[in-house]
Structure 1
């Protein structure tokens, strides 16, 4: 009995220390959070929703690069897709270009040390972001740089949901075809992506890659947009504002639906005020508990009239919000608590009806490959799933 009491006391102390570490770490980070909302710009923007096409386009642009390649991804791995990209970066660095590769410490842990060393010897500046350290060790362990940003010669920018690894090209049998969105941008907005990249580099390493070639003169494009970066503090408020402004329709595309209480209530309120709300999520899961946890939010949504589609032809990883068929928000955040309250993310809000129509066309094609979730299906789900739902809901901030 004494042993159990001692173990219980130790457990309570550990939980208290974790909570204290998290609260103090969050308070300290809030003071220096980097969450810029850039001014509205005009660029030419292309939507890419196929991993193969993205990698081919990006590698073609890199081969044509003449001055700099600045690449930041949440995940790259020890597979052929990643190695092909590493090899190209080494070639360009050896040719004298300024080449920087930023990887999140947690997301990039599968990249082997020998590969990193060969890149560095070739002249590639490789840095890992958000390495855990004291103080606030537990808080820092949860921080992720979830941004995927590439800027080539300061003129061509890429941003979106794809990482670089074989599953993102649909080459992992368990997940199948990988559905995601990425943007290729030329024009004024590229400078904002460059600023974001350089800020992440400076804040994490103290280093800078600035030069006159990093910010070349850029032409004005045709599509009006605004780039917004978040650091775990302002994204919830930003999304709530977007939802409340919708007058007719909201479409939310996300691989993980684990919203905050405030956002769940905002969506339900929109439904009850006559706004059509469509939620697109995957039927498959690539992480433990996330699919089960989402089910704890679905009954309220369905009761309010939300339409929930589950994509079954592969894995649905798209991150987008469409407001009233006029505004597209595409970027790196998932609609979950980790993106809302922990991660460093970036979105592009696009104010262009023609571009939004293109996104909607893609979403409508995906709806044809999806199953409409009904109240009956939620009610009749296996009781064996319930413990996973309860556990997932309890730890939802860390999924």
Structure 2
């Protein structure tokens, strides 16, 4: 009994220390959080929702680069798709182009040291972001740079939900087709993506890109938009304001529905006011507990009148937020607590009805490959799923 008691006391102390670390770390980090809302810009923006098409276009643009390639991804791996990109970056660095590759420490942990060493030897500046360190070790272990941003010659920008690995091109049988949204941007807004990249580089390394042509002159495009970066502090209030302002319709596409209490209540309130709320989520799961946890939120939404579609033709990794068929928000955050309160994220808020109409057309195709969830189906789920739901809800801030 004494041994059990001692172990229990040690466990409680460890939990208390981790919670204290998390609270103090969050308070300290808030003082230096980088969450800019850039001024409105006009750019030409293309929606890409196929991983192979994204890699094809990005590869073509990189091959044409003459001054700089700045690439930042949450996930790259030790697979063929990632290695082909590594080889291309090495080739461009050896040709004299300034190449920087930023990878999240946790998300890209599968990238092997020999790959990093050969890239560095070729002249590629490779840096891992958010490495755990003291003080606030537990807090830092939870921080992720979830942004996926690429800027080429300071003139062409990419941002969205795709990472660079085999599954994102639909090459993993487990997931099949991978549905996601990414933007290709040319025009004024590219400078904002560049600023975000430079800031993340400086904050993690203290260094700035070496190319003198980081900010070339840029022409005005046709689509009005603004870029907004979050760092775990302001995204919840931003999304809540969007929900409260909606008058007719809200569409949310997300791979993980684990909202904060405020956002869940805001969506329910919108439904009750007569706003049509549509949620699109995957039927499959690529992470433990996230699908089960979402089921703890669905009944309230369904009772309020929300339409929930579960995408079944592959995996649904889209991060989209559409307001009143006029405003499209496309970027990197999931609709979950990790993106809301931990991750470094970025969204592009697009005020353009023609572009939003294109996004809605793509979403319509996604819905056609989805099954409508009903309260009856929720009630029919296996009792064996309930413990996973309770556990997921209990640790939802860390999923």
TM-score under structure 2 length normalisation: 1.00
Counterpart of 1:265? 265
Q: CA deviation at 1:211?
A: 4.7
Q: CA deviation at 1:183?
A: 0.1
Counterpart of 1:282? 282
Contact 1:78 1:112 in 2 (8 A): yes
Alignment pair present for 1:125 and 2:125: yes
Any unmatched runs of 5+ in structure 1? none
Alignment pair present for 1:4 and 2:4: yes
Counterpart Cα distance in 2 of 1:203 and 1:67:
23
Counterpart of 1:139? 139
Q: 1:257-299: CA deviations, max 9, x gaps?
A: 0000000000000000000000000000000000000000000
Alignment of 1:106-255 (within 5 A): 106-209=106-209, 211-255=211-255
Counterpart Cα distance in 2 of 1:111 and 1:369:
34
Counterpart of 1:341? 341
Contact 1:198 1:210 in 2 (8 A): no
Counterpart of 1:328? 328
Contact 1:38 1:227 in 2 (8 A): yes
TM-score under structure 1 length normalisation: 1.00
- Number of aligned residue pairs: give it: 399
Contact 2:98 2:210 in 1 (8 A): no
Contact 1:66 1:153 in 2 (8 A): yes
Q: 1:81-126: CA deviations, max 9, x gaps?
A: 0000000000000000100000000011111100100000000000
Question: Residue 328 of structure 1: SS of its match in structure 2?
Answer: strand
Alignment of 1:21-36 (within 5 A): 21-36=21-36
Counterpart Cα distance in 1 of 2:93 and 2:174:
36
Any unmatched runs of 5+ in structure 2? none
Q: 1:112-169: CA deviations, max 9, x gaps?
A: 1001000000000000000001000000000000000000000000000000000000
Counterpart of 1:19? 19
Counterpart Cα distance in 2 of 1:307 and 1:237:
23
Q: CA deviation at 1:11?
A: 1.1
Alignment pair present for 1:82 and 2:82: yes
Counterpart Cα distance in 2 of 1:380 and 1:98:
56
Q: 1:320-369: CA deviations, max 9, x gaps?
A: 00000000000000000000000000000000000000000000011010
Contact 1:76 1:82 in 2 (8 A): yes
Contact 2:68 2:211 in 1 (8 A): no
Counterpart Cα distance in 2 of 1:35 and 1:366:
31
Counterpart Cα distance in 1 of 2:211 and 2:51:
32
> Hey, which bits of structure 1, 4+ residues long, moved more than 6 A?
none
Counterpart of 1:388? 388
Counterpart Cα distance in 1 of 2:313 and 2:148:
25
Alignment pair present for 1:309 and 2:309: yes
Counterpart Cα distance in 2 of 1:25 and 1:210:
32
